[in-house]
Amino acid sequence: MQAYDGYFDNGHFITKGKLIEIPCKKRVILTVLDEPIHDDNDHLDAWLEFIDNIKNIHDEPVSEFERVKFREVDI
């Protein structure tokens, strides 16, 4: 007998980031808890989308600004 701690996502059982395959015709006891999972990567999809959008920016490079010499002034 084996026990796994994980969660269901899109019809698949995932534990510690790995998909678990259950052999056919095996007796299974499933307990669904009333608590949500706390994924360490909650914002991972948003960050990946942000990075992809940054990579897809095709603006022209900014030309060099005119150099200015500043001097100290006594006030």
Give the pLDDT of residue 20: 75
pLDDT digits (tens, 9 = 90+) for 52-64: 998 888 888 778 8
In this predicted structure, the answer to whether residue 42 has a pLDDT above a threshold of 80 is: no
pLDDT digits (tens, 9 = 90+) for 12-28: 778 877 777 777 888 88
Q: What angle do CA 39, 11, 22 make, to 5 degrees?
A: 100
Q: Per-residue confidence at 33, pLDDT binned at 50, 70, 90?
A: confident
Give the pLDDT of residue 40: 64
What are the structure tokens assigned to 51, written together? 């990075």
